[in-house]
Each structure stands twice: as structure tokens, then as C-alpha cells.
Structure 1
Amino acid sequence: MPVYALNLFDVSNKDEYIAYSKRSVKEVRAHGGRVVSLGKFRQAAQGDIKPRTVLILVEWESIEAFESYRNDPALADLHPHRENGTENYIWHLFDKLEDLRPILKE
């Protein structure tokens, strides 16, 4: 079942994050992911979460595909660029739903 990875963060080191982003697009695709949306923070409409500057939403073929990207030893040199290039990182996973009925039935 597909999952969405919601990434919210601030860029803390542009060079490090550029090094990550140049390679990550290809690697995300190779591991079964697809970037659905990119966004720059505009304004807080409601809620008390501390705003982050960047939003990236990635659809993964499955939780296993996501984990294969996170844990692939061949990418051990890639992930530190993300970690060193960002701060205030939120990385949450959501199951893909066609509608809200499964949640509303609970």
C-alpha cells in the first residue's frame, strides 16, 4: 500500500542541502518514491506547530520502499547531507487513502 512522507524543515546550510537534493531525486525514484509536491511556507492559517520554510511531499510505493531508501548502505554518504543541511526536520508518514471512510469508521 502506498504511503506519503511529509517532510517539513528549514534549510540551515545551503551547500549541504544542494549536495543532497542533486542526488536525492534520482535515488528517491530508484527506491520507489515520487515527489508529489514542493512548497515554500506562506503563512500559518491555523494550529500551533512552529512553521518550517520547506515542504516536500513524497509518495512511496510502500513502507518497504521508504525504508529501503532510508536504510540502503549505498546511500550512507547521502543522508548526512540532508541532516547537515537542514534543521527543525519533521518527517511523518501517512497511509494513502482514497477517502476518509476508514478513519471515520473507527
Structure 2
Amino acid sequence: MSESSAKKFYALNMFDVVDVEKYLGYFRRLPEVAPQYGGRIVTFGRFRNNVTGDLAPRQVLFVVEWDSEEAFNSFRDDPELADLHPLREDGTASYIWQTFDGVEMSDPANVSVDDVLAVLKP
């Protein structure tokens, strides 16, 4: 496997919930649908405290790991899921959806300077 194909791709989702039932309609399907496109929920949580920064807080955070950018795009753009994404869109507000390249760490229990440099260097 080449280095570029081994790297994971992450989607950061931060949002406010405006319609719990609509968002739950989306989320109930997500754990089944996302893996079909190479995605899995890594973590999620509720906002606690704004420590620093100029981004307005959002109520909810989700991080989804994708096998690749192509996998993410296939999930996002598949016409077969045309009824799914509006549930997310209509159930939330102030949505932030950003993507990040992942780095394969030499030892996830002990992040090295080389691991960090892989992110800091363009």
C-alpha cells in the first residue's frame, strides 16, 4: 500500500441542533451507511467550554474517519443518499464541516516529533 493510500481522511463536524428528530433521523442511518462508503465515527461529544479561539462554539462535535477523500466524497455526493443529507441539514444550524488529512503514526501511544512534523510541514 502506498503512503498516500494508507493515510486516513477525517471529517470534523461541529453544529448546533435545531430539530432533534430530524437530526436523529440522519444519525440513526449513519452508523450503517457510512461504513458502506469507508467511514466510521471516531468520536463525538457535547460542547463544554470555550478555552481560546475566535470560532463561535457549537453544541455538538463529531469526527468521522474515512478511508480516503474519495470515500468521503462518494458518501457526500451519492444520489442514492439524496434523502439522507437533508435530515442533517434541516436538523442543524451553524454547521461546520471541515476535512483533514490523517497521518499514520509510528506508535499511536507515543507520538513522535516526526509524526508532528508530518502535519506541520506543507
The answer as to 2:64 corresponding to 1:73 is: no
Give TM-score scaled by structure 2 length: 0.83
1:92 to 91, 94, 98: 98
Q: Give 1 or 2: higher strand fraction.
A: 1
- Aligned-pair Cα RMSD in Å: 1.1
2:48 to 33, 42, 46: 42
Structure 1 residue 102: Cα displacement: 2.4
Q: Which has the higher contact order (CA 8 A, sep 6+)?
A: 1
Larger radius of gyration: 2
Give TM-score scaled by structure 1 length: 0.94
State how many pairs are aligned.
106
Identity of aligned residues (%): 49
* Separation of aligned partners in 1, 2:64 and 2:43: 7
* Separation of aligned partners in 2, 1:41 and 1:31: 28
2:4 — aligned with what? none
Moved over 4 A (4+): none
Q: Which runs of 5+ in 2 are unaligned?
A: 1-6, 106-114
